[in-house]
Amino acid sequence: MTFQKAIEPMTSPCFDEMNGGESVSPSAPRALYDRVARWLENSPPGLLDSRRQQAEMLFRRIGITFAVYGDKEAAERLIPFDIIPRLLGQDEWRRLEAGLIQRVKALNMFLTDVYGAQEIIRAGVVPADLVLRNPAYRPEMQGHRVPHDIWTHIAGIDVIRVDDRDFYALEDNCRTPSGVSYMLENREMMIRLAPDLFADHRVLPVENYPDALLASLRSVAPPHCPGDPNIVVLTPGQFNSAFYEHSFLADKLGVELVEGRDLAVRDDVVYMRTTEGLKRVDVIYRRVDDDFLDPLAFRPDSVLGAAGLMGAYLAGNVTLANAVGAGVADDKAVYTYMPEIIRFYLDEEPKLRNVTTWRCREPDALNYVLDHLSELVVKEVNGSGGYGMLVGPHASKEQIEAFRHKLKAAPEGFIAQPTLSLSTCPTSFPGGVAPRHVDLRPFVLSGAGGVRIVPGGLTRVALKEGSLVVNSSQGGGTKDTWILETDAATR
């Protein structure tokens, strides 16, 4: 099989975003970080520790927690927040933004096609079984046109950096991407706890994200929607790990937060139960997985959705964001075809590179992966949250052998990637500052008016020394992401 240029493995030095050199041998700060470096140098001892404690107290008071499934000792946790921001210059952001817009356009075109004419399958670009036998493929959606051909209204594209110029797309999250509440709350926290540092930079705003999201959702209302569309956020309920975010977004959007039991379907029209009677619902920003949306269409034991919701959806009387079946596009095996998908639909070269990936469903790739397990990261194609993953260089012999058996038993369920040289950013810890690996999840909105991205995203940081796993469920933290108006932080 053919791969793009490989990313250097972790045995090579990592790019340090503040100093511009290697994390193990830092040089002078880049101009972009000059003021941050001076702020850190001039901060009195204990200041960062004190601000970290204040942030934890404020987050706990607000109630920003997430659930860790299966963790009996700490069912509710705070995601650690680091007060040292991550900076990107405007030129860097423009390059990244262009790649994200291109990628999300292609993803929506791919979904429109695979649930329509399936031209990309007939052309032999993407294997039919990869789509039609995919657990996220919904045959109920075959032949169904969604408003404006938008399937993934809110996409979270995970991006990594390996040098002073190149960004790589690591994952495409097209179902129910989470984390935007932390992007917004982190900005509020920085303004509150480091006002002097924030005022010293021209940081592009992210607080207009709720307005942009609301406009996108309104724009995809059903074509026969009477008057202004009524929008709701559908949550699985308070025991879901991201419930805080669901309630946060409903509040910021100025719409109702509902559970499945709050909805009723009459004659293929969705209504919300209110104290004044039933009120029609036109757009549902749903944070409930496909399987649980409608017990009549999917899992009959689900109590999280509403009976008849799928019928109303297929009748065109309500819009679901993101669309049912959008998960086909964020399958990690489909991810490996994204360069070809972009070329097929847009006739353009990808602006964001893919990470070199071995599809274990292919015999030659499987043999390579089995021979190099101790060097690679192996992921389940439908996995998320950092679960079900092997990080070869950090794994025990027993873990490697266990994965070897999994791969041999069901190779089609896995992909493998090199252990990447993720860039590092300075991160504060009790008593000091040290570089830690980071990624970035920008949130890409698609509506009738096109694709829009607020300048920034959620920077996730692997807090453990040497760790590459940034997921909050695996002990990762977050940072505020500053996109500066100028590439050098000058005024």
Q: What is the mean pLDDT of residues 222-231?
A: 90
Q: What is the per-residue pLDDT across 368-390, written as a single tens digit (0 to 9) for each?
A: 999 999 989 999 887 665 566 88
Q: What is the per-residue pLDDT across 427-465, written as a single tens digit (0 to 9) for each?
A: 998 878 999 999 999 999 999 999 999 999 999 998 888
Domains of the chain (ranges, CATH numbers):
9-143+152-205+331-355+423-491 (no CATH), 223-317 (3.40.50.11290), 357-419 (3.30.1490.270)
Residue 305: the pLDDT is 95
Residue 217 CB contacts under 8 Å (≥ 6 apart), including other chains: 153, 229, 231, 253, 283, 285, 319, 321, 447
In sign, the C-alpha dihedral spanning 73, 77, 82, 85 is positive
Q: If pLDDT is split at 50, 70 and 90, which confidence band does 14 have?
A: confident
Q: What is the mean pLDDT of residues 341-352?
A: 97
- 154-161 and 443-447 beta bridge pairing: antiparallel
Residue 32 scores a pLDDT above 60: yes
Residue 9: the pLDDT is 44
Determine the 3-state secondary structure of 4 from DSSP: coil
Q: What is the per-residue pLDDT across 255-312, written as a single tens digit (0 to 9) for each?
A: 999 999 999 999 999 999 999 999 999 999 999 999 999 999 999 999 999 999 999 9
Q: What is the mean pLDDT of residues 69-89?
A: 75
Tokens of 257: 């937060």
Asked if 260 contacts 294 with a C-beta cutoff of 8 angstroms, the reply is no
Q: If pLDDT is split at 50, 70 and 90, which confidence band does 87 have?
A: very high
Tokens of 66: 């997430």
Of 150-159, 239-248, 478-487, which has the strongest mean pLDDT? 150-159
Q: What is the mean pLDDT of residues 45-67?
A: 83
Task: Tell me phi and psi for residue 5, to 5 degrees.
Answer: -55, 130
The rounded mean pLDDT for the chain is: 89
Residue 29: the pLDDT is 87
DSSP states of 212-235 = HHHHHHHHTS-TT--SSPPEEEE-
Residue 70 scores a pLDDT above 70: no
Return the half-sphere exposure (C-beta side, CA atoms, 13 A cut-off) of residue 30: 20
Overall pTM surpassing 0.75 (yes/no) = yes
Of 109, 225, 240, 88, residue with least CA distance to 164: 88
